[in-house]
Structure 1
Amino acid sequence: MSKHHREHNWAPALASLNEDELSNKDLELSQSVVSQSAVSQSAVSQSDSWLNLIKSGVSIADDHTHMLSVVNFVHELNLQLAQKGRDLIYQPTADDLVVKAKASGVSHMLEVGCEYPDWEPTISFAKSHSDCVRAAIAIHPNEAVLHGHRGTTGPDGLPVVYKPYHDIPFDEAMQHLRSLIISNPEEIVAIGETGLDYFRTGEPSRFAQREAFRDHISLAKELNMPLQIHDREAHSDVIEILLKDGAPEMTVFHSYSGDACIAAILRENGWFASFSGTIGYKGNEDLRESARIIGLNHITVETDAPYLTPMPYRGRPNAPYMVPYTLETLSQVLDISLSKAAKVTRENTEKIYGF
């Protein structure tokens, strides 16, 4: 296997049950990497610890993932690899990702659809895996300003690109969102992701983005739904709006990115932080300190797949089976057992979403 192939290929699971009973396709997600990797004694110990826990019935939940997007992400990655004459990586289906996650101790997954055309496929996917998948839907903050063609280029410099469904005015899209949530109470357990993104959206569009955030807050409170927040380089405005408008009872900062000051505000208000693989990235001590401040009783874990893959596999495709790595990092940060971290984060997910 070439170095470039290893750099893009699927990472191994931290541990997995009954791998001899999994399909050959599913095994390709891990064996091709495991066979080529020199695993340290520490990593073996961590793997054994998690394996023993899941054998005893311990499980965790992925608080925020995009499995349907993972499939498209890998397809695009393989197109790029083919153009460069490199080996392709295994192309899973979303169903394959569920199987792999369950074998790796991830019993429940919250699939997030935050663009208009994604909502119904997200709901259908949750229905097809009713034992382990639930849905959250919303209009992503960067999408909110595209509806009605109100977007402007942000600091990231990417051009504004409108798609046909962006012709639908924001208010009309919100009405459809509300209707879908009301019509699918078993599948949809949260509104998200919504919030503010000042990296992707320019200053002239930010008022519209803030108003869209407020509309989602209002809807979550009307329907008594948990709210998942996307907060990118907009901490102060996100906090200000939540405090001014009144946050829903269950408010979750997905892929938490704040510092110690923001963490103290979350703790004071009883809001939750969901940590992704970024908690283990070099230089992210603010995130690790935030976890200590917020405390385990208000923390969940997530992948935000297909991105934010945990260390030491940053840069490879992400999927729910990888969330145990983030749990393992969290247990080290909080200086608690892996068992306790699994138990409490799983209980927090059940408390927030009811599954």
Structure 2
Amino acid sequence: MTNDRTARAAERRWESFPPAPEPLPHPVLDSHTHLDIVAEDGGDPATQIDAAANVGVDRLVQVGVDVASSRWGAACAAEHPAVVATVALHPNEAPRLADLDAALAEIAVLAEDPRVRGIGETGLDFFRTKEEGLQPQERSFRAHIALAKRVGKPLVIHDRDAHADILRVLDDEGAPETVVMHCFSGDEAFAAECARRGFVLSFAGTVTFKNAPQLRAAAALTPPGQILVETDAPYLTPMPFRGRPNASYLIPLTVRALAEAKGMPLAEMCEAISDNGNRIFGPW
């Protein structure tokens, strides 16, 4: 009976996902998703991967936030050709660890896996982590920067209420060759600063929100060669389905919003995003 109840609960959750949007005219990737959370909720990652492919989202980057999810992501990428992984300790995770150095050592081992294509999400979060946790958070961030440079893989940054300090630490350590600003949340001025430094700005479903004109303005000034798109699924579902579960197959809604913000034909926007993904994370 327990298994039956679990199955029925999972089915209800899956039924709450929004309908699929119109497919894109050119394939793109989801540069940041959490398929492991879908799996924990009883969903099948293969179903998510297939649903995304049906609307033109043919590549997914599964992102690690702790040792367990990083291991899971590397295994998922080994099993599914459409998936590559990143590995890291989330900035809110680092202060909670009894042995941060041991966890960082495990991430470093995983980073050598050829199906692991990035180091992240790492960075700083001043919204959830309080004063006592800031020192280990920054130490973890610096260790991830060093790891990204050592293995020659892109650094995927989580930045929440910490724009100036993200830049401070990157300047102090020296940024890796490729830096991806996950779920970009800054304004035009911060976008211009990131673009000037050569960083890649990854826009999530938040760019579609009515109360986020600053994100659309930031996207408008970002060069096409420095733009990615992501879901951060199952979070940050784009309009008009905000509040329902997110998934990679909903990427077309965000891509269309980006194309509109930049005044670009949709197909050209898709091609730019696809080329950027292959350059940063590929080949799949």
Q: TM-score, normalised by structure 1?
A: 0.74
- 2:108 corresponds to 1:178: yes
Q: Secondary structure at the match of 1:323?
A: helix
Going from structure 1 to structure 2, the CA distance change for 1:92 and 1:173 (only over 3 Å counts) comes to closer
Counterpart of 1:15 in structure 2 is: 22
Distance 1:10 1:221 in 2: 38
Distance 1:283 1:334 in 2: 18
Q: Secondary structure at the match of 2:111?
A: helix
Q: CA deviation at 1:317?
A: 0.6
Q: Following superposition of structure 1 onto structure 2, how do residues 22-101 of structure 1 map, counting pairs within 5 Å?
A: 50=24, 53=25, 58-72=26-40, 75=41, 92-101=43-52
AA at the equivalent of 1:244? D
Distance 1:250 1:15 in 2: 32
Q: 2:88 aligns with which of 130, 138, 159?
A: 138
Counterpart of 1:318 in structure 2 is: 246
- 2:221 corresponds to 1:298: no
Distance 1:170 1:218 in 2: 15
Q: CA deviation at 1:354?
A: 2.2
Question: Contact conserved, 1:300 with 1:345, CA < 8 A, in 2?
Answer: yes
Encode CA deviations 1:78-107: one digit per residue, 9 max, x unaligned: xxxxxxxxxxxxx63111101111111111
Encode CA deviations 1:211-239: one digit per residue, 9 max, x unaligned: 11011001101111100000001111001
Runs of 4+, deviation exceeding 4 Å? none
Distance 1:293 1:336 in 2: 12
AA at the equivalent of 1:11? P
Q: TM-score, normalised by structure 2?
A: 0.92
- 2:179 corresponds to 1:232: no
Question: Contact conserved, 1:70 with 1:318, CA < 8 A, in 2?
Answer: no
- 2:80 corresponds to 1:129: yes
Encode CA deviations 1:240-277: one digit per residue, 9 max, x unaligned: 11122111111000000011121111111110000000
Distance 2:165 2:72 in 1: 32
* Identical amino acids, percent of aligned pairs: 38
Counterpart of 1:209 in structure 2 is: 137
Distance 2:68 2:199 in 1: 30
Distance 1:92 1:172 in 2: 31
Counterpart of 1:32 in structure 2 is: none
Q: 1:147 aligns with which of 85, 97, 106?
A: 97
Q: CA deviation at 1:71?
A: 3.3
Residue correspondences, number: 271
Higher alpha-carbon Rg: 1
Question: Contact conserved, 1:64 with 1:109, CA < 8 A, in 2?
Answer: yes
Q: Secondary structure at the match of 1:305?
A: coil
Q: CA deviation at 1:295?
A: 2.0
Encode CA deviations 1:175-210: one digit per residue, 9 max, x unaligned: 11111222x11x100000000001110012112211
Q: Following superposition of structure 1 onto structure 2, how do residues 181-196 of structure 1 map, counting pairs within 5 Å?
A: 181-182=111-112, 184-185=113-114, 187-196=115-124
Distance 2:224 2:215 in 1: 13
- 2:270 corresponds to 1:346: no
Counterpart of 1:279 in structure 2 is: 207
Question: Contact conserved, 2:21 with 2:55, CA < 8 A, in 1?
Answer: yes
Encode CA deviations 1:114-135: one digit per residue, 9 max, x unaligned: 11211222111111112x1000
RMSD over aligned Cα, in angstroms?
Answer: 1.5
**Structure 2 unaligned regions, length at least 5:** 1-11
Q: Secondary structure at the match of 2:86?
A: strand
Distance 2:201 2:66 in 1: 23
Q: Secondary structure at the match of 2:92?
A: helix
Counterpart of 2:193 in structure 1 is: 265
Counterpart of 1:115 in structure 2 is: 66
Question: Contact conserved, 2:229 with 2:255, CA < 8 A, in 1?
Answer: yes
Counterpart of 2:57 in structure 1 is: 106
Question: Contact conserved, 2:20 with 2:55, CA < 8 A, in 1?
Answer: yes
* Bigger Cα displacement from structure 2, 119-128 vs 305-314: 119-128
